[in-house]
């Protein structure tokens, strides 16, 4: 490659543009591939549906407008699987590989962003982290596929069992929620092996690569767990337990009525885990009560952990904000957890992420209600409000759970969801890049004046 082309990439493609451009390029390529006649069962697919599916796969969301197993051929499903893998590993990782392939060092802002995504402290060689991400991904997905295969080889031919095992292992670990089964895992609501394998894959993919590396180092070298790992493990366990308990309480006499106790517990646990970012379901989401839907909205909004395959505002941000509120209630100005004080800049970043996420959801919800539900009667639209909030939060948190609204949307509604999925997947990472820039100190200091805030 000529020196001029290398200079062009180095000086005119900022990390932010490279991130968004790479992400968009994979979505465009995926859309084109899905529109090929051999990608669908009947050889036809609308452009908006191909774009929606490609975006959902790359953003590891799982929302669908077409039945993945019935509407797409094996070729189309493999394309979706590759898009999920690319999105799950993260475009940031691929961006680093592009820089490495072009032969020039990673820009400082990009390196800082990658470090803040995959590590809580500066690292000497960022490429070591990238190699670890690929290594852990391949190993965990292979083990998950083997576990699925041991169960499904009893129900399908060895070739078919191997194929669906690999597909669901990648989808579960990447927290994508795509399934070749038309009813997701509803047919396996009583199967502890399938549920257990899926839960382990989802949680492993959702806690983040840094936590996996930290736990590995702890087991092998007896090193001390970082504060980040402690917060992730504690908040993840607390969210899973609380979510499962609430689902059981709210659905005991509703969607879970008539089921045996072990199955009720298994469904409650599975949906609590899946609601965070995965999108699989073992019970019909459309039958859940408003109380359950609201709790799942909260879980979807929180999402997974930093540096993982999942979306949301992240478990660590939730933990930091709750710690800040608790310590302020006690009279302290700091966020303290596990006898460690969280830096002020990190607290401000958490608050900014929360406010930005809420404002964005309010914006897309307003646009959706104004344009998509304008032709629906007032009495009917009022009943759809919670389902609409659920759907958009699912898209923003890259979850993929649906009450059934998405598949019935027109082109405008699908476009709104596409934008929401895209923003939910890259928005927080893009903000991380922006925060990694060098701060510019103002030469003007203004006088302070107090303002009433409550």
pLDDT 10s digits, 231-241: 999 999 999 99
pLDDT at 131: 73
Tell me the pLDDT of the chain averaged across its residues.
83
In angstroms, rounded to a whole number, what is the distance separating the alpha carbons of residues 406 and 394?
11
Residue 437 scores a pLDDT above 60: no
260, with CB counted inside 10 A (0-12, 13-18, 19+), is exposed
For 1-48, give the DSSP string. Answer: --HHHHHHHHHH--HHHHHHHHHHHHHHHHHHHHTSGGGBSSS---HH
Q: Would residue 342 be called left, alpha or beta, if left means φ above 0 and alpha means ψ between -120 and 50 degrees?
A: beta
Q: Out of 63-67, 360-364, 449-453, pick the least confident.
A: 449-453
**Structural contact between residues 129 and 214, judged by C-beta atoms closer than 8 angstroms:** no
Query: Can you tell me the distance from the alpha carbon of 293 to that of 287, in angstroms, rounded to the nearest whole number?
Result: 10
Helix axes 91-102, 74-89, angle to 10 degrees: 80
The listed range with the strongest mean pLDDT (266-270, 314-318, 424-428) is 266-270
pTM, rounded to two decimals: 0.87
* Centroid of chain to Cα 28: 20
State how far the Cα of 443 lies from the Cα of 11, in Å rounded to an integer: 28
In this prediction, residue 377 carries a pLDDT of: 63
What pLDDT score does 197 carry? Answer: 96
Gap between the Cα atoms of 53 and 66, Å rounded: 8
SS3 content of the chain, % helix, strand, coil (to 5): 70, 0, 30
Nearest to 278 by CA among 200, 180, 364, 209: 200
Q: What is the pLDDT of residue 107?
A: 56
Which of 78-82, 108-112, 353-357: highest mean pLDDT?
78-82
The conformational region for residue 7 under phi > 0 = left, psi -120 to 50 = alpha, else beta, is alpha
Q: Is the pLDDT of residue 56 over 50?
A: yes
How does pLDDT run across 66-78, given as a tens digit for each residue? 999 889 999 999 9
Q: What local confidence, expressed as pLDDT, does residue 405 receive?
A: 85
Residue 435 has pLDDT above 50, yes or no: no
The enclosing H or E element of 341 equals strand 340-341
- pLDDT one-digit tens code per residue, 290-347: 999 999 999 999 988 887 777 888 888 999 999 988 888 888 888 888 888 888 888 8
Q: Given a cut of 90, is residue 100 above it in pLDDT? A: no
Q: Of 252 and 21, which is predicted with more confidence?
A: 252
């Amino acid at each position: 490659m000529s020196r001029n082309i290398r200079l062009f990439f180095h000086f005119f493609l900022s990390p932010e543009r490279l991130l968004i451009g790479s992400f968009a390029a994979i979505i465009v390529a995926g859309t084109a591939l899905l529109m090929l006649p051999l990608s669908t069962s009947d050889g036809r697919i609308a452009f908006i549906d191909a774009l929606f599916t490609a975006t959902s796969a790359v953003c590891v969301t799982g929302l669908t407008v077409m039945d993945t197993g019935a509407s797409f051929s094996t070729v189309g499903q493999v394309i979706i699987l590759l898009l999920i893998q690319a999105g799950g590993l993260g475009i940031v990782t691929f961006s680093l590989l592009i820089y490495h392939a072009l032969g020039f060092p990673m820009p400082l802002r990009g390196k800082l962003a990658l470090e803040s995504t995959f590590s809580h402290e500066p690292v000497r060689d960022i490429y070591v982290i990238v190699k670890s991400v690929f290594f852990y991904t391949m190993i965990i997905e292979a083990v998950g596929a083997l576990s699925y295969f041991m169960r499904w080889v009893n129900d399908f031919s060895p070739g078919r069992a191997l194929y669906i095992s690999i597909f669901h292992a990648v989808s579960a670990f990447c927290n994508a929620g795509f399934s070749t089964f038309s009813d997701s895992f509803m047919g396996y609501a009583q199967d502890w092996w399938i549920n257990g394998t899926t839960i382990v894959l989802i949680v492993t993919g959702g806690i983040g690569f840094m936590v996996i590396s930290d736990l590995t180092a702890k087991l092998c070298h007896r090193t001390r767990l970082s504060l980040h790992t402690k917060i992730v493990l504690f908040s993840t366990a607390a969210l899973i337990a609380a979510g499962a308990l609430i689902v059981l309480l709210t659905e005991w006499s509703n969607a879970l009525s008539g089921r045996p106790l072990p199955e009720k517990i298994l469904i409650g646990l599975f949906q609590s885990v899946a609601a965070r970012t995965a999108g699989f379901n073992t019970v019909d989401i459309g039958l859940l009560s408003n109380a359950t839907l609201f709790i799942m909205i909260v879980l979807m909004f929180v999402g997974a952990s930093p540096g993982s395959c999942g979306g949301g505002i992240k478990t660590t941000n939730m933990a930091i904000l709750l710690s800040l509120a608790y310590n302020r209630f006690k009279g302290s100005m700091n966020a303290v957890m596990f006898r460690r004080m969280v830096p002020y800049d990190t607290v401000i970043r958490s608050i900014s992420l929360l406010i930005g996420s809420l404002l964005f959801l309010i914006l897309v919800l307003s646009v959706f209600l104004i344009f998509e539900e304008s032709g629906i009667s007032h009495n009917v639209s009022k009943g759809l409000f919670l389902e609409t909030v659920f759907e958009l939060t699912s898209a923003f948190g890259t979850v993929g759970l649906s009450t059934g609204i998405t598949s019935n949307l027109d082109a405008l509604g699908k476009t709104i969801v596409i934008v929401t999925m895209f923003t939910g997947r890259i928005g927080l990472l893009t903000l991380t890049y922006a925060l990694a820039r060098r701060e510019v100190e103002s030469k003007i200091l203004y006088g302070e004046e107090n303002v009433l805030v409550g």
